[in-house]
Every structure is written in structure tokens, then in C-alpha cells.
């Protein structure tokens, strides 16, 4: 999005291609999954964004690329231009191509993980997970036993989801199902590393761990998952943990379709790029965001690096079109943050500044609303999150959804 907007504003003819009609603000998907936000709060019409900057939007999915350096242009085509083929057979010409598709879940070959877990990478994922959570809570009124939720992965998404689910026990069950003992909703987080939130400092990691456990989350560190079944998580040491709902937030990789694009791939299938973010071996094809990997200078797979990479690619295309040489990408670290729950978050800024607790939580809330696309989204998000947290303990944030 950052790349397309900058190129369009420079006067170039830009086509934005995406499989969805909307752009999704992924950092707040867990709020949709737990009923704090509506799906429309974190989605914005991609065509509206593109059209505002005089770009063209086309809905479609990339299936193949022609016009790669070192290949011969197909007969009857303009050899000076490349073409992308879409999954429905349509073709689009390009002088410069930017691949910025993002990534999807990586299951590391763990048996049953792809089939028996829920992801949280798309708007559809969030809606499916929301309805599954609501169904599980509702069934507590119909039979004895507990509802076990396992979150696999101790990164920002896993910590945020586990913390919010644990807090909802007090609110949802008390206001919607007062006859159900909140202790019957079990929330567990499993992380293979010896710590949560590994990019953060040790003190912030310890704070996050303490806050989750204080909220009643069963955190298991240095724990490897060997298999996932529909109702259990099997650990490498042989232990079997009951899990009626397992959410996968343990790793990411390029989509399987990337293998058919003819571009060089590195770790987890990411597209290999050089210092200027051009795809290795290509003169007119760039990659940006989570899908791109410079082995000499790998970027964290976060929003800020993606935005800065997009803007950098746009600048390089403008330079190349003017006959100038491309410049190397340099990332400006603005810091990173994660929320654990109400009035609890961690913020790590450059030059050693560390913030935690209520102040960090307010900073997280303000920043995420600032980066939302569209004024309507910001207003709705402010209202809905304010209702969830200001009406705490009085029914705020009750999950809504359809039973499976």
C-alpha cells in the first residue's frame, strides 16, 4: 500500500493487485477474534485507497510471471515489458513489478498442525476463530468438563491473544453465562523457545510472562509440539494436553504459490532480494514486506519494516525510470510493542528506552488507531475498544458470532 500510493502520487500508472477487495490491518485481528472489534473496523476497501491516489485496483491472485531477466519473452509479446498471469487466466503488463503479498502460517512439518489448528492472518481467520470460541464457551452450559484453548507460539500475536482470552473469562462468562464457572475455560500458551517475545529485552519478556500467569494463562516454555489432533496437543516428551481449540501463531512462511513464480527463494520460501530490494537476478522486479528476504540484512517481519520497504521500492522505481542508479535500503527502527491485556503492554524503543504497564498500553492503543486506514475505522475502533475496556466487568467485550 505504501509503495502504490507513493508511485501513484509521483504520476506513474500504477495497478494494485490483490486477492481481496480490502486491505486488512493485521495487528488488531485478535481483537476481532475475541469480539472486541467488528470485521469492518480492521478492513478498508483497497479500491478506495487506490482510487484516491489515482491508482487502478484489480482483484486477482498472482499465478505466474513472464519477462524475467535471463528468459526469452513469449512469442508475440512486447519484449520490453513483462507480464503477470492471474489465477483466472487474465494477464497484466508491467514495466516494474513489486511483489508484496505477505506471508502465511508455517507448520514446520508438525503432524496435524495444518488440519487441526486455526490461524490468525486474515479477516476470514479472525471470523472463524471468533465463532469457534463462542461455540466452545456456549457448550460449557450444556455439558460438564472444561473448554481448553491452546495458543501455539509466544510472539506478539500469541501473547496478545492468550492474554485477551484469559481476561474474557471474567467478562463473557459473568455477563453472558453467569451459571458457568469461569475456571472451566482453560487458556494455555506453548512456546518452543525458553522465553516469550524474544525480540524484547529480558526485563520486558519477564514482565510479559508474569502478567500472563497473573491472568491465569498456563504458559509452557521450552516446550515442543510433536502433533496436533482435533482435541489434543501432543508434546515431544510424550505428554498429551487436551485442546478443543488450538490456535497456530508459531511461525510464518511464504505462500505455497510463490514456488510457481520463478523467483529465487530462501528460508521459509521468502523471495531473495539484494540491498536495494530488487529480486536477486532481476532488474525490474522488487519484493517488499514479509515476503522479502535479504540474507545479508534480514528485516524483522513487522509492520514498520514493511511500510519503509514499500516506500523505498517506490523511490527506486522513480530513480530507475529517470536513469539514476538504485540505492540500498536502510531501516530506521522506530521500536516495537505488544499488548498483554487491559492496562498491560510492553514497548521497546531505540536507544534503550523501555516502557511497560499502563503507559505502554495507552501508547499501544494510540499508535494502532493512528495507523488504521480511514477515519470511520479509527472512530469505530476507539468506540468499541473504549466500551470493551471502560465497561470492564459489566459486560463489555462480549463475544458475538454464529454457532458452528
pLDDT in tens, 128-175: 999 998 888 888 888 889 999 999 999 999 999 999 899 888 776 777
Pairing of strands 56-59, 15-18: parallel
Please calculate the CA angle 181-185-191 and round it to the nearest 5 degrees.
150
The answer to whether 160 is a known catalytic residue is yes
The domains of the chain are located at 2-19+60-103+254-321, 105-252
Beta strands in 4-59 (DSSP E): 15-18, 22-24, 43-45, 56-59
Residue count (the chain): 404
Q: Who has greater pLDDT, 74 or 365?
A: 365
Distance CA 313, CA 233 (A): 42
Distance CA 208, CA 211 (A): 5
Orientation angle between helical segments 303-321 and 2-9, nearest 10 degrees: 30
Q: What is the pTM of this model?
A: 0.86
Structurally, what CATH architecture does the domain formed by 105-252 represent?
A: 3-Layer(bba) Sandwich (3.50)
Q: What is the mean pLDDT of residues 28-53?
A: 80
Q: Who has greater pLDDT, 14 or 34?
A: 14
Q: What fold characterizes domain 2-19+60-103+254-321?
A: FAD/NAD(P)-binding domain (3.50.50)
- Of 93, 138, 142, 160, the catalytic one is 160
Q: Is residue 392 pLDDT above 60, yes or no?
A: no
Pairing of strands 97-99, 285-287: parallel
Q: E strand or H helix at 305, and its extent? A: helix 303-321
Q: What is the mean pLDDT of residues 330-354?
A: 87
Amino acid at each position: 500500500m505504501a509503495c502504490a500510493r507513493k508511485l501513484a502520487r509521483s504520476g506513474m500508472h500504477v495497478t494494485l493487485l490483490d486477492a481481496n477487495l480490502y486491505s486488512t490491518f493485521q495487528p488488531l485481528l485478535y481483537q476481532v477474534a475475541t469480539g472486541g472489534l467488528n470485521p469492518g473496523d480492521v478492513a478498508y476497501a483497497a479500491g478506495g485507497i487506490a482510487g484516491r491516489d489515482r491508482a487502478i485496483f484489480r482483484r486477482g491472485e498472482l499465478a505466474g510471471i513472464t519477462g524475467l531477466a535471463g528468459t526469452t519473452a513469449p512469442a508475440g509479446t512486447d519484449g520490453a515489458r513483462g507480464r503477470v498471469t492471474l489465477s483466472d487466466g487474465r494477464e497484466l503488463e508491467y514495466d516494474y513489478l513489486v511483489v508484496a503479498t505477505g506471508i502465511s502460517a508455517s507448520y514446520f512439518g508438525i503432524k496435524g498442525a495444518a488440519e487441526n489448528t486455526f490461524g490468525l492472518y486474515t479477516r476470514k481467520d479472525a471470523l472463524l476463530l471468533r465463532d469457534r470460541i463462542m461455540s466452545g464457551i456456549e457448550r460449557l452450559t450444556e455439558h460438564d468438563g472444561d473448554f481448553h484453548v491452546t495458543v501455539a507460539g509466544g510472539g506478539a500475536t500469541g501473547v496478545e491473544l492468550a492474554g485477551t482470552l484469559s481476561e474474557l473469562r471474567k467478562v463473557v462468562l459473568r455477563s453472558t453465562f453467569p451459571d458457568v464457572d469461569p475456571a472451566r475455560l482453560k487458556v494455555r500458551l506453548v512456546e518452543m523457545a525458553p522465553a516469550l517475545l524474544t525480540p524484547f529485552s529480558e526485563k520486558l519478556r519477564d514482565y510479559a510472562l508474569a502478567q500472563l500467569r497473573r491472568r491465569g494463562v498456563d504458559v509452557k516454555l521450552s516446550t515442543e509440539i510433536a502433533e496436533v489432533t482435533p482435541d489434543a496437543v501432543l508434546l515431544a516428551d510424550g505428554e498429551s494436553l487436551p485442546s478443543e481449540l488450538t490456535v497456530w501463531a508459531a511461525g510464518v512462511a511464504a505462500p505455497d504459490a510463490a514456488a510457481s513464480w520463478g523467483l529465487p527463494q530462501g528460508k521459509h520460501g521468502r523471495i531473495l532480494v539484494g540491498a536495494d530490494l530488487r529480486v536477486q537476478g532481476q532488474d525490474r522486479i522488487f519484493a517488499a514486506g514479509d515476503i522479502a528476504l535479504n540474507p545479508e540484512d534480514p528485516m524483522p517481519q513487522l509492520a514498520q519494516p514493511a511500510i519503509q520497504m514499500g516506500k523505498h521500492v517506490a523511490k527506486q522505481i522513480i530513480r530507475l525510470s529517470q536513469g539514476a542508479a538504485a540505492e540500498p535500503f536502510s531501516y530506521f527502527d522506530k521500536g516495537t510493542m505488544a499488548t498483554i491485556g487491559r492496562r498491560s503492554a510492553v514497548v521497546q524503543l531505540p536507544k534503550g528506552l523501555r516502557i511497560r504497564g499502563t503507559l505502554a498500553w495507552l501508547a499501544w492503543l494510540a499508535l494502532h488507531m493512528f495507523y488504521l486506514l480511514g477515519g470511520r475505522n479509527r472512530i469505530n475502533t476507539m468506540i468499541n475498544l473504549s466500551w470493551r475496556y471502560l465497561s470492564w466487568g459489566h459486560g463489555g467485550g462480549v463475544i458475538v458470532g454464529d454457532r458452528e
